[in-house]
């Protein structure tokens, strides 16, 4: 899905033909993330990706509910990688890697198969989450820490970890005496080898996985963990932790823009 500016005209896209929706996005500065009264923007859904054009390095998109079709770059299609890959399969092109293939966008470890310029240091993710906590949730005493907990925490605390070159978050909630683990791949539920890297956590505290509802690009796992952390903090303030989280599309888009700016390497270097 892509969040674009609302229009009153029916059956026409809210951007001119040939213009990228990314140029028509109704964005506010990232500092607006600090406010609770974020404007709700409509979501326009990709119905089908018709083809990939190598000369344009863009995908021809059919939008649900609209007759017009537009060419979009891959960065505008981060939330429908499955449709992108189906189109690439039909054109006998290599698929775009996404989180289910298990690399990371939140470490400086060399060897990434996509674009290393999209990798985000954990320190940068920590700083952004701390800023949002200070601005949006000043009443909460909540610490953000890098790495796995060494002992059982004595207070509410968020841990940012890297396992198998993948960014993972852990929210320890003292009231529940439990750790809630989350990431863009739901690896605690699906990846046994990665879970083994974090096995010592289960010897320290009860662990419960919070399912992340969206599919993301492989090198975007850092921004997705930041989005998930903010959503969990919001639920924590309401004294409840859900089994599945759906971070705000507006916040996800802004954090992706803040953290990630580069194309996939294998789009240009095939």
Higher-pLDDT residue of 195 and 62 is 62
List the domains of the chain with CATH numbers: 2-96 (no CATH), 101-259 (3.40.395.10)
Per-residue pLDDT tens digits for 3-58: 443 333 444 554 544 444 443 333 333 333 444 444 444 556 888 999 999 888 89
Backbone phi, psi, residue 81, to 5°: -60, -30
When pLDDT is averaged across residues 92-98 and rounded to a whole number, the result is 69
Confidence of residue 109 (pLDDT cuts 50, 70, 90): very low
**Where is average pLDDT lowest: 3-12, 124-133, 160-169?**
3-12
Per-residue pLDDT tens digits for 206-259: 999 999 987 666 667 888 999 999 999 999 999 999 999 998 888 888 888 888
User: Is-above-0.95 flag for pTM?
Assistant: no
- Report the C-alpha gap between 172 and 195 in whole angstroms: 17
Are 69 and 58 spatial neighbours (Cβ–Cβ below 8 Å)?
Answer: no
- Report the C-alpha gap between 206 and 263 in whole angstroms: 39
pLDDT averaged over every residue in the chain: 75
Per-residue pLDDT tens digits for 250-268: 888 888 888 876 554 443 3
SS3 155: coil
- Look up residue 267 and give its two tokens: 């789009």
- Out of 28-37, 129-138, 163-172, 184-193, the most confident range is 129-138
Q: Write down the pLDDT at residue 135.
A: 94
213 CB neighbour count, 10 Å cutoff = 11
**Cα 9–chain centre separation:** 31
Confidence of residue 140 (pLDDT cuts 50, 70, 90): very high
Confidence of residue 180 (pLDDT cuts 50, 70, 90): very high
């Amino acid at each position: 899905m892509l969040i674009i500016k609302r229009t009153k005209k029916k059956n026409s896209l809210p951007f001119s033909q040939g213009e990228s929706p990314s140029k028509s996005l109704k964005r506010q500065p990232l500092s607006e993330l600090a406010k609770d009264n974020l404007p709700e923007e409509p979501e326009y859904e990709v119905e089908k990706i018709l083809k990939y054009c190598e000369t344009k390095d863009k995908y021809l998109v059919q939008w649900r509910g609209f007759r017009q079709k537009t060419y979009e770059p891959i960065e505008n299609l981060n939330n429908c990688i499955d449709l992108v890959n189906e189109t690439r399969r039909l054109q006998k092109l290599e698929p775009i890697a996404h989180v289910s293939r298990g690399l990371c966008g939140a470490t400086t470890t060399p060897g990434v198969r996509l674009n290393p310029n999209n990798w985000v240091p954990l320190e940068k993710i920590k700083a952004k989450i701390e800023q949002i906590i200070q601005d949006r949730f000043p009443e909460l005493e909540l610490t953000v820490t890098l790495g796995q907990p060494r002992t059982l925490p004595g207070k509410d605390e968020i841990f940012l970890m890297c396992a198998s070159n993948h960014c993972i978050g852990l929210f320890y909630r003292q009231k529940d005496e439990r750790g809630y683990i989350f990431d863009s791949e739901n690896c605690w539920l699906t990846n046994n080898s990665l879970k083994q890297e974090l096995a010592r956590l289960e010897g320290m505290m009860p662990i419960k996985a919070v399912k992340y509802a969206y599919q993301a690009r492989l090198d975007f796992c850092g921004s997705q963990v930041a989005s998930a952390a903010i959503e969990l903090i919001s639920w924590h303030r309401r004294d409840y932790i859900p089994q599945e989280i759906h971070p705000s599309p507006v916040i996800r888009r802004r954090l992706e823009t803040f953290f990630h700016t580069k194309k996939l390497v294998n789009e240009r270097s095939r």
